[in-house]
Structure formats: C-alpha cells, structure tokens
A and B are shown apart, each in its own frame.
Chain A
Amino acid sequence: QQPVQSPQAVILREGEDAVINCSSSKALYSVHWYRQKHGEAPVFLMILLKGGEQKGHDKISASFNEKKQQSSLYLTASQLSYSGTYFCGTGYSGGYQKVTFGTGTKLQVIP
C-alpha cells in the first residue's frame, strides 16, 4: 500500500522552512527520500535504515520514527533550487527489497 505524504503541496518564500511527512500503514524497514524536478528522474537525497535515525546534509535532514511508521523531511532556509516534488520511498522487510513510493509533495520556493 502506498505511503501517504503530507502536505500535498506547499509554497515557500526563500529562507523559509518546511516539513514533509510520510506515513505508512505497514511496519517500515527503511525510508528513502527523493526530489524530482519537472520532466526529470528522481534524485536520491538520503536513506534512513533504523528507527529513530536522523540524517542530514546541507540544510535538508530527515528523521525516522519506526514506532509511528513515519518519516519526516526537514528543509531549512529554503533555496529556489529546492523546488520540485519530493517523494518518500519505503521498504518493508529486512534486507533490501523493493521500494514503494509515496504520494508526493510538490514544493515551490519563490523569491
């Protein structure tokens, strides 16, 4: 079953922060985050493998709450280049298995 992301869409001004949530109805083994710009393939951002793990680079970070079967992506001090559609991808069993992509969140950063 497809993970549900919220919000569906968000508009930010440069410098503002945003949080994107990914929620699964099934127990999660891993969470992957991707950004896709219009007309292009998704680009890998990060993967979280353990419940409670937090990761980040530059001003984009993510957390994984295994108990709640949720992950959140945090974008701070947003830049114009952050615009795109963000997808979470979830893995449901131990070891690497297929990834099921979430419903997507469209983010637009304006000057």
Chain B
Amino acid sequence: GAVVSQHPSWVICKSGTSVKIECRSLDFQATTMFWYRQFPKQSLMLMATSNEGSKATYEQGVEKDKFLINHASLTLSTLTVTSAHPEDSSFYICSARDWETQYFGPGTRLLVL
C-alpha cells in the first residue's frame, strides 16, 4: 500500500507557541489530503480537507485562523497550530487520498504545557 509520513511524531511545547506538522505522501501524488484530530478513546474527527493549490475546506467548528493548512505540492501538506493552548493537546493524524482509498500517516502527538 501507499506510504504517508508525518513529522514530527511528538511535540511538547509551551502555551502560546506555534507548531507545524508535516504530512508527506512518499510514493504517490495526492491532490487531496485530510487532517484529523483524535482525543483519547474517541473516534477520528475530520478537521479539514487540504487541496493542492487551493484553500483548505474546514469542518464546522474548526477555526481556520488557528489551524493553518498549506498544501503547496502534490506530496506535502502542513498543519500549523497557531498560539497553541493546553486544550489543543491531541493526536493529529493526516491522510492522503490515492484514488478511492485514504492512507494514514503515523500521527503526531501534541502536548501543550
């Protein structure tokens, strides 16, 4: 299957700082990538759909100014959590679409102190 990488795997930061997470499709081109957030023992909640060369589409309730998404190339999407606060601590997972299938990255654990 297709491979998606995420970097970094773990981030610990102070409240008020910004954190950038990268999502790369390693062996295929992805015009569409997705960003999810998952809290402990809960399902994955879609935050936004990232489209190469255009603006991301955010889900209801997700602040676009807080979670900045850039899909600059067919293999890279980035999520920047701006002015992070402790309530932003979560497991952030990206996925990339290859035809009808989504392949997930390994996830990034964010802890905001």
Interface residues on B, range: 20 to 34
B106 touches A103 (CB 8 A): no
B102 touches A44 (CB 8 A): yes
A32 proximity list for chain B (CB < 8 A): 101-102
- B interface footprint on A97-111 (CB within 8 Å = 1, 0 otherwise): 011111110000000
Q: How far is the CA of A43 from the CA of B44 in the complex (A)?
A: 13
Question: B1-31: which have CB < 8 Å to A?
Answer: 1
A100 proximity list for chain B (CB < 8 A): 46
A96 proximity list for chain B (CB < 8 A): 32, 97, 99-100
- Of A30, A98, A103, the residue contacting B100 (CB under 8 A) is A30
- Interface residue? B49 (CB, 8 A): yes
CB distance from A9 to the nearest CB of B (A): 11
Question: A32-50: which have CB < 8 Å to B?
Answer: 32, 34, 40-44, 47, 49
Given contacts A41-B93, A42-B93, contact A87 B44 (CB under 8 A): yes
Cβ-closest chain A residue relative to B45: A101
A102 proximity list for chain B (CB < 8 A): 43
A30 proximity list for chain B (CB < 8 A): 100
Question: B38-77: which have CB < 8 Å to A?
Answer: 42-46, 49
Cβ-closest chain B residue relative to A89: B102
B34 touches A101 (CB 8 A): no
- Interface residue? A2 (CB, 8 A): yes
Given known contacts A44-B1, A44-B101, what 18 new A-B pairs fall within 8 Å (CB)? A2-B43, A30-B100, A32-B102, A40-B106, A42-B44, A42-B104, A44-B102, A44-B103, A47-B100, A49-B100, A96-B99, A98-B34, A98-B46, A99-B46, A101-B44, A101-B46, A103-B43, A104-B43
11 A-B pairs within 8 Å (CB atoms) are namely A32-B102, A34-B104, A42-B104, A44-B101, A44-B103, A47-B100, A49-B100, A87-B43, A87-B44, A99-B102, A101-B44
Query: Which A residues fall within an 8 A CB radius of B?
Result: 2, 30, 32, 34, 40-44, 47, 49, 87, 89, 96, 98-104
Q: Which 5 A-B pairs have the closest CB atoms?
A: A41-B104, A41-B107, A101-B44, A101-B43, A104-B43
